[in-house]
Amino acid sequence: MTSEDRPLCLFDALRSWSDPKLVEAVRVRERRYTAIELSGARCSRLVPDTKLRMPPRDNSLSGISLSWLYAAWDALERDFKRRLTRGELFAAGVEAAPKRGIAHVPIPGVWAADFVFDFDRDVIKVGTGRYTAVLISRTEWIIPSLESVREPATPPNRESGAGAASQPFPSAGEKETAGERGRASMRPVIAQAVRDYWPDVCAFVRRQGGERPNWSELARMLHKRMDKAASTAPGVSIPHQDTIRTRLPDIYAEVLSEKTVRN
């Protein structure tokens, strides 16, 4: 899989894989408003505050209508839904209602006409169903491959000592199954690291204001922790940082769901 085909969160997929003309149409409309005028809009934002129109010195509101902006957003969402319906894009999410799940499952694209998107929270609602931590892919294989997240990860090593992370690393001589390098064989290793270093992961997310983690930076942090742990156990290997980055979104969502259910 190329970097261009890796799964994206819902909002990033909308911006990256929708019709560029429709994305730009929304941005053009947004730039005509001030941040204050957009603060009450019922749609998400594609343009940062620094690119919006500057407010008047007296900060008075112009009472300008948002109807043209809503029309541009509706066109963009219709295009996004059509791509899901036609099988150009594939959705998966963690079921939150009517039942709670702990792993990503496919969200059938044939339902896309009825999808209600919450792009700021990466949520899709359809009927009575609600899916969180939504991921969108351009390659069909990502949906069946997500079944692997249902396999239980290696349980924590309770004998490793207080404050010490368990080390479920494969030995240096252990060969991965053909076609699974960086996928299924390394997933339990990465998942275990996320669980072991969960306090560090939560602290990292808090430092970012509680928003979606910067997956590249989080992968770098976890890779350093895993590398340090592996240095005390000769003959073990750890996943490449890029492999960790690829797997992190769905693993993070799974562990977060586990913690939420338990609490």
pLDDT in tens, 110-146: 999 999 999 989 999 999 999 998 999 988 744 444 4
CB of 72 closer than 8 Å to CB of 45: no
pLDDT of residue 160: 37
- Range 83-96 average pLDDT: 92
The model's pLDDT over 240-262, given as tens digits with 9 standing for 90+, comes to: 888 888 888 888 888 877 766 55
User: Average pLDDT, stretch 155-166?
Assistant: 38
Please give the pLDDT value at position 61. Answer: 53
Q: In 3D, which of 145, 122, 130, 254 has the Cα closest to residue 201?
A: 254
CA 126 to chain centre: 19
Chain centroid to CA 199 = 19
Q: Which 3 state secondary structure label does DSSP give 236?
A: strand
Whether the pLDDT of residue 172 is over 50: the answer is no
3-state secondary structure (DSSP) of residue 104: strand
Over the stretch 68-82, which tens digit does the pLDDT of each residue have?
899 999 999 999 999
**pLDDT level of residue 57 (50, 70, 90 thresholds):** low
In single-letter form, the type of residue at position 154 comes to T
DSSP 3-state of 117? strand
> What 3-state class would DSSP assign to 128?
coil
